């Protein structure tokens, strides 16, 4: 303003602080709220907290489903996170169009987010079960959920400023503090509460219910004066519809899982258990032969009763040539590798180190699986340790204890098992061997994935071990991939000869591929078949491959 008291000829101005102009299209602060402004502001921040927790649960749900249904957790995590972060930026820009009606817009955003996030797990599983492919659905849900999450903060920023005016920096700090703390709670609730207690489907739908109640309740009560009568009834109808959809889906979740599981695994699912580590599914007729049994771990066919003996005979018996009084089995909680080891009467002890106690429990109690493993867990020579194999081998007590180590682990291309195929891991395994001891490793299919197989062999050599590569299951052409075959394989495909690759390793001299005269009677293995398999395997060799280490994993 002009200071008229200044001397003539001198123009002075005196500035008074005025409120910053409202953005175009944004209404001013309501004249009255149902509560005091301080309480209203706390309610908005509490809603930010709840919505942030729900948003992170949706994100983790997509990550978990992507790893489970598609495989390769690193790739799927990268896809989900990058698409979602990009979509959040898009959502922030699109939210500018809703600034004129921020309360109404925020309620619609939360309703849409609750519906999409709550039903995302069911939709992705349905896509995989009936269409056989979930990647497009995974990307679409990541983008849609990211857009809605990105639209939240701009709208909340407008709402909180209308309750009590403050500088933009302070408002942003308050909102992001509530947002980040909520994300922490959601991130911890997913693996420790929602997933183990409710499972993926019901956990996502409960999260959606909390989301829509928090977002809709805030707007319909605290900001009801901002809404026209028609807008209020519309939001009530939308929120009730979302709650009804989530409620119906929750009631039908068990039936949906059973139907979808039949579509994926076939009609003879006998056992389906979600442990704290993975999903275990046993299929086969209730009173059928053990040869009709199939065991799936996290959707991958790990054991087929039809031909598992070929795999386990080839894995175990070449390593048993020589001293074998004390044997260590890494993985192999199904008891099938231990069955082969315990066929030797002069074995004094067998130690099975298995991460998932649910596998051991199933191998002990399921009639068909316990019959298939020869009731190995009833043998007093067998002991079980529930632990991560890498961590267990690092203990000083594991040094120089075993004559034979059998590494019966999932394929190295499955990301969670990559560290168990590293140079560091094999160094620990070599340290646990007695002088003259041998290490047998399942190394993936040399015919269909030769780079992976020969990377395992190069990694064993880098750890100071001498190697003898070989395979089992037939000639190396056109066979399905190893014991960890993809989910949803047809029954006929499951009965084809398999491309199983192994490496026998030792610290002291090159190990010999042969079967001793004292070896119990075998159905599929002989010294001559091992020699033929070694020649076939050598034809697939890929030279010059670097070893896989913890900082530089080489498997894909």
- Report how far apart the first and last C-alpha atoms of the chain are (Å, whole number): 70
Asked if residues 303 and 396 have their Cβ atoms less than 8 Å apart, the reply is no
What stretch of H or E contains 145?
helix 135-163
CA angle 209, 213, 216 (to 5 degrees): 130
Using alpha carbons, select from 310, 284, 269 the residue that is nearest to residue 496: 310
Among residues 80, 83, 79, 155, the alpha carbon closest in space to that of 112 is found at 155
* CB-CB contact of 417 with 430 (8 Å): no
Beta-strand pair 433-442/466-472: unpaired
Question: Which token pair is 11?
Answer: 């123009």
Complete DSSP assignment for 307-339:
THHHHHHHHHGGGGSS--SEEEEEE-TTSHHHH
Annotation says 408 is catalytic = yes
Q: What residues have CB less than 8 Å from 161, skipping those under 6 apart?
A: 29, 171
Q: Which of 366, 408, 484, 499 is catalytic?
A: 408
Q: What is the b/e burial string over 13-31, where b = at least 16 CB atoms within 10 angstroms of the residue's CB?
A: eeeeeeeeeeeeeeeeeee
Catalytic positions, please? 408
């Amino acid at each position: 303003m002009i200071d008229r008291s200044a001397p003539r000829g001198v123009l002075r101005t005196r500035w008074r602080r005025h409120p910053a102009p409202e953005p175009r299209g944004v209404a001013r602060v309501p004249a009255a709220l149902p509560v005091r402004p301080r309480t209203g502001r706390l309610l908005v921040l509490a809603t930010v907290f709840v919505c942030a927790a729900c948003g992170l649960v949706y994100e983790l749900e997509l990550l978990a489903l992507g790893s489970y249904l598609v495989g390769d957790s690193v790739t799927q995590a990268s896809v989900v996170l990058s698409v979602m972060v990009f979509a959040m930026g898009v959502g922030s820009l699109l939210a500018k169009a809703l600034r004129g009606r921020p309360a109404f817009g925020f309620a619609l955003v939360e309703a849409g987010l609750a519906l999409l996030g709550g039903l995302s797990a069911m939709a992705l599983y349905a896509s995989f079960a009936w269409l056989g492919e979930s990647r497009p659905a995974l990307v679409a849900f990541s983008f849609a959920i990211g857009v809605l999450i990105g639209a939240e903060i701009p709208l909340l920023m407008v709402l909180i400023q209308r309750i009590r005016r403050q500088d933009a920096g302070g408002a942003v700090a308050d909102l992001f503090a509530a947002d980040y703390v909520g994300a922490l709670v959601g991130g911890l609730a997913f693996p420790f509460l929602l997933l183990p207690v409710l499972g993926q489907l019901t956990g996502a739908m409960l999260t959606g219910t909390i989301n829509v109640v928090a977002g809709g309740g805030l707007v319909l009560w605290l900001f009801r004066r901002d809404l026209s009568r028609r807008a209020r009834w519309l939001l009530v109808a939308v929120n009730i519809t979302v709650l009804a959809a989530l409620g119906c889906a929750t009631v039908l979740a068990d039936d949906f899982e059973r139907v979808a599981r039949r579509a994926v695994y076939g009609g003879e699912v006998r056992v389906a258990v979600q442990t704290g580590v993975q999903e275990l599914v046993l299929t086969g007729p209730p009173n059928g032969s053990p040869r009709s049994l199939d065991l799936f771990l996290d959707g991958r066919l790990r054991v087929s009763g039809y031909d598992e003996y070929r795999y386990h005979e080839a894995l175990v018996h070449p390593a048993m040539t020589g001293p074998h009084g004390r044997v260590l089995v890494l993985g192999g909680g199904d008891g099938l590798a231990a069955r082969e080891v315990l066929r030797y009467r002069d074995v004094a002890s067998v130690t099975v180190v298995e991460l998932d106690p649910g596998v051991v429990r199933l191998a002990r109690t399921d009639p068909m699986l316990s019959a298939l493993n020869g009731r190995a867990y009833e043998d007093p020579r067998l002991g079980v340790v529930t632990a991560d194999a890498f961590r267990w081998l690092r203990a000083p007590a594991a040094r120089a204890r075993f004559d034979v180590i059998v590494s019966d682990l999932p394929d190295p291309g499955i990301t969670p098992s990559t560290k168990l195929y590293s140079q560091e891991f094999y160094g620990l395994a070599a340290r646990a061997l007695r002088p003259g001891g041998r290490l047998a490793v399942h190394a993936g299919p040399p015919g269909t994935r030769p780079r992976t197989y020969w990377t395992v062999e190069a990694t064993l050599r880098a750890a100071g071990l001498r190697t003898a590569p070989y395979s089992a299951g037939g000639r190396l052409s056109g066979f399905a991939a190893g014991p960890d075959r993809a989910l949803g394989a047809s029954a006929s495909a499951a009965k084809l000869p398999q491309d199983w690759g192994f490496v026998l390793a030792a610290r002291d001299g090159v190990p010999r591929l042969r079967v001793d005269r004292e070896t119990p009677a075998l159905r599929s293995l002989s010294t001559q078949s091992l020699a033929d398999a070694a020649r076939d395997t050598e034809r697939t060799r890929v030279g010059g491959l670097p070893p896989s280490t913890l900082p530089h994993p080489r498997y894909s």
